[in-house]
Chains A and B, each alone.
Chain A
């Protein structure tokens, strides 16, 4: 009795392991956004990952500054550095994508990549550009303007010194 059981197990295992050889070509790469072949795609992934980490770094630096771990100068210096790098990365990503398109890869490839990226939301790209351009402006000292009267205020202030409005929610770019 046990021998039959063992035999069944052995066969089941053998079948399970050999299945992929018989279902070749049936399921293509729809679940696989980053295939091992294709240097360009690997490069794209790498760039995207780096971009993600810069975005994360910007958020973290933002928070650190608010929490008081960074001085204003450090914060601005780091922020400028990160957003410049991120902007550069975005450019390289764009170039690479254009290159890939020109190289005649599957049309749907980009769509697939974007669609199946579970870690990104749909309008990330436009969002990032907004962030970066906005940040360029902020660096020029246009941050911290009271939404009521437009007067400049300090980050530590709770009320606008000109019109007295409470400063809160909408004023500063909030990370969380």
Chain B
């Protein structure tokens, strides 16, 4: 099937070029056949790239080692599932995946807009096609997964053991769905700029897409963190590694964009700002993948030193030039419909939210490219590590939490004293009380206290939102549960957003606790000896060596006690993978983890000596589970926001209005 794959990719590139030309021509001249043909092309590209993916998977599963990609990323002993996920394990394959996901989006955008946005669509499609041209060109001509080797090796190199993990299987796809998805709002924005339709059309049409890709960016980040926590085995989940930052930056700006878009919808302000933001988000997504792939910033995760870097740089240059060129061209058509009234208003809260997100993104960006900057300017490489990132981002994070509570409740235009009191009195008291109570209970770290207090504040504001809404509805005689359900389903954006904020609060609580209150201990134990940490005691019972087809394992069994009570056993491992042929990585550490909502007990078997004594490193990470739980809540909230509202609702609402209205009026106009 290799030939099919090669031809499919080649065709996809050709057709993408065609779509670009045809859609723009069709948009300018208004000739419908051109546009329709381009749209069909989009569907065709999706079909072709799907074929290409199937071809590659087929090659992987049939162990076709004549292909360089198959030889480098799989082996005969690799299980089926991970052989399939090897599709995106390497540079060429992941580029193919990117192109494929882009083609899915392109086809979906075309199909879902069959009957609307006709003015915008040709240009939106043109932009999407342009991006598709770039990626299909890369996969077709620069870094092809179907590149052949001059000889056929007996076996492949195999997949790095740390990637053979369910989280690593889905983390790239999830992240890509987010990363690639950012192209859609970008295409709408650029389409608006090119076509001159600079009203709210582009924002309204791209809104759901934005929330959708933001959700996947968030999930991708969380999954990556969870994978790092489980597999990298150093006890943490985030290291401010350039690759992590690469995914984090677009997320920050996308979040800012999500919020500022609401201001444009409601008040017609921040038009220029929103355009700039979405262009920036897309730039950061492409830049992020550039950093990851080009090895330009040496990160422990770096994929490869390949020639792909310059192509990305060129592409980024073109995007920035074109986007901002169009932006400046249309500057006059982007006047605001309104203005800011007071600094104490929802508009301002959103504006500050944006500024801080941007500030955070900028500081992460600076920290990430610092080595490149210093090398270019001073001739020596200087880098900044986690202390820099934490120092800058923690305060900003705290302010953002505060804004998260203030934003939804503060009134538009100008918050009166009355409004402030009414909405914020109880939450503020609750937040302060929480801080005080925690202080009394012995917590002294200021950052943790402030963080928990603010989280309490935000939770209280969210609760107030729901409570008041339910109260209004149930005053008409609905029972509370039904009222709650109806409330949420009729105001999906607002309450979905509140649920998302709640998820964020949970995540922040988890991060705060697990950053500030970790305890760690290392010890070498002989059989029967114990180690105490916090309220836990662990007794080293047995060292077991075993062998499977894939690996030689060493497992240490520890019985765990919570104070006096035995609560179970944990088995950390240190394994050596067996390979025929020459493999580069064959050692693997399996962490033993026991998670509760209170804390995680995290055990690493660091070494075994000849006497049978084992070296352990044990950590207690408080409340890490809250992070993952928060992620689930965030996802639920996002789904609520995106759930389409049925059309009948509007008629129903209209009917209610007329009923209320006619009964209300004494004299009909």
Seen from chain A, the residues whose Cβ lies within 8 Å of a Cβ on chain B are: 2-3, 5-6, 9-10, 13, 16-21, 24, 31-37, 42, 46, 49, 53, 57, 59, 63-64, 66-71, 74, 78, 116, 118-121, 123-124, 127, 130-131, 133-134, 136-138, 142-143, 145, 147, 150, 158, 168-176
Nearest B residue to A37, CB-CB:
B30
Known contacts A5-B4, A31-B114; A138 and B30 CB within 8 A of each other = no
Residue contact A2 to B468, C-beta cutoff 8 Å: no
A21's partner among B27, B37, B197 (CB-CB below 8 A) is B37
Produce 1/0 per residue, B25-69, CB < 8 A to A. Answer: 001001011111100110110011001000000000000000000
**CB closest chain-B residue, reference A3:** B3
The residue from B40, B115, B116, B656 contacting A175, defined by CB atoms under 8 A apart: B656
Chain B residues with CB below 8 A from A32, complex form? 115, 118
User: Beyond the given A2-B4, A70-B411, A169-B476, could you list 13 further A-B residue pairs with CB under 8 A, ordered by the A residue number?
Assistant: A13-B44, A20-B35, A49-B201, A59-B653, A66-B472, A71-B418, A74-B416, A118-B115, A118-B647, A121-B650, A130-B662, A134-B664, A176-B653
Whether the pair B486, A127 counts as a contact (CB closer than 8 A) is: no
Contact B661 A20 (CB under 8 A): no
Q: A20-B32, A74-B416, A127-B654 are in contact. Are A13 and B11 (CB under 8 A)?
A: yes
In the complex, which residues 652-669 of chain B have their Cβ closer than 8 Å to any Cβ of chain A? Answer: 653-654, 656-669
Point out the residues of chain B lying under 8 angstroms from A70, CB to CB.
411, 419
B contact residues vs A (CB 8 Å cutoff) = 1, 3-4, 7-8, 11, 15, 18, 27, 30, 32-37, 40-41, 43-44, 47-48, 51, 114-119, 122, 197, 199-201, 204, 265-266, 409, 411-413, 416, 418-419, 422-423, 465, 468-469, 472-473, 475-477, 486-487, 490-491, 647, 650-651, 653-654, 656-669
The distance in angstroms between the C-alpha atoms of A171 and B18, with both chains bound, is 61
A5 nearest in chain B by CB position: B4
Do residues A134 and B37 form an inter-chain contact, with CB atoms below 8 A?
A: no
Best-buried of B1, B472, B487 by chain A (most CB within 10 Å): B472
- Chain B residue contacts of A130, Cβ below 8 A: 657-658, 661-662
Considering the chains assembled together, what is the distance between the CA atoms of A20 and B4 in angstroms?
A: 26
The distance in angstroms between the C-alpha atoms of A29 and B442, with both chains bound, is 72
- 24 A–B contact pairs at CB < 8 A? A6-B3, A10-B7, A13-B44, A16-B43, A24-B32, A32-B115, A34-B117, A49-B199, A53-B200, A53-B265, A67-B472, A69-B411, A70-B411, A118-B115, A127-B658, A131-B657, A133-B668, A133-B669, A134-B662, A136-B669, A142-B665, A147-B663, A176-B491, A176-B653
Q: A66-B472, A69-B423 are in contact. Are A21 and B33 (CB under 8 A)?
A: yes
Please measure, in the bound complex, the distance between the C-alpha atom of A170 and the C-alpha atom of B434, giving whole angstroms: 43
- Are B40 and A16 within 8 A (Cβ)? yes
Residue numbers in A under 8 Å from B662 (CB-CB): 130, 134
How many whole Å from B505's CB to the nearest CB in chain A?
Answer: 20
**Beta-carbon contact of A20 and B37 below 8 Å:** yes
Q: Which residue of A lies closest to B655 (CB)?
A: A127
* In the complex, chain B residues whose CB is within 8 Å of the CB of A78: 412-413
Residues of A near B199 (CB, < 8 A) are: 46, 49
Which of A20, A121, A174 has most chain B Cβ within 10 Å?
Answer: A20
Check A174/B660 contact, CB under 8 A, given A2-B1, A121-B651: yes
Q: Judging by beta carbons under 8 Å apart, are A116 and B669 in contact?
A: no
- B654 and A124 within 8 A (CB): yes
Also in contact, A20 and B654, with CB within 8 A (given A6-B4, A74-B416, A134-B665):
no
Taking a contact as CB atoms under 8 Å apart, the answer to whether B416 and A127 are in contact is no
Interchain CA distance A103-B201 in the complex, whole Å: 26
Q: Taking CB as reference atom, which chain A residue is nearest B337? A: A50
Q: Which 6 A-B pairs have the closest CB atoms?
A: A173-B660, A20-B36, A133-B669, A121-B651, A134-B661, A20-B33
A5 to B7, CA, bound (A): 11
Contact partners of A121 in chain B: CB under 8 A: 647, 650-651, 654
Interface pair B472/A168, CB less than 8 Å apart: no
Selected contact of A49 from candidates B204, B475, B665, B667, CB within 8 Å: B204
Question: Separation in Å of the A118 CB from the closest CB of chain B?
Answer: 7
Residue pair A57, B266 in contact (C-beta under 8 Å): yes
Chain A CB within 10 A, most for which of B30, B36, B48? B36
Contacts of A123 in B (CB 8 A): 654
Task: Please name all residues of chain B whose beta carbon is closer than 8 Å to the beta carbon of A66 when the two chains form the complex.
Answer: 472
B33: contacting residue among A24, A171, A172, CB under 8 A: A24
Q: What's the least CB distance linking A176 to chain B, in Å?
A: 5
The complex places the Cα of A172 from the Cα of B659 at a distance, in Å, of 10
Which residue of chain B has its CB nearest to the CB of A20?
B36
* C-alpha spacing A66/B416, complex, angstroms: 17
When distances are taken between beta carbons in the complex, the residues of chain A under 8 Å from B475 are 158, 168
Q: Which residue of B lies closest to A122 (CB)?
A: B651
Minimum C-beta distance from A150 to chain B (A): 8
Question: In this complex, what residue of B is CB-closest to A168?
Answer: B476
Which chain B positions have C-beta within 8 A of A42?
Answer: 119, 197
A134 to B660, CA, bound (A): 10
Nearest-neighbour CB distance to chain A for B347, whole angstroms, equals 13
Residues of B with C-beta under 8 A to A59: 653
Q: A residues within 8 A CB of B660? A: 170, 172-174
CB distance from B38 to the nearest CB of A (A): 8
Contact partner, A173, options B27, B486, B487, B664, Cβ 8 Å: B664
Smallest beta-carbon distance A131→chain B, Å: 6
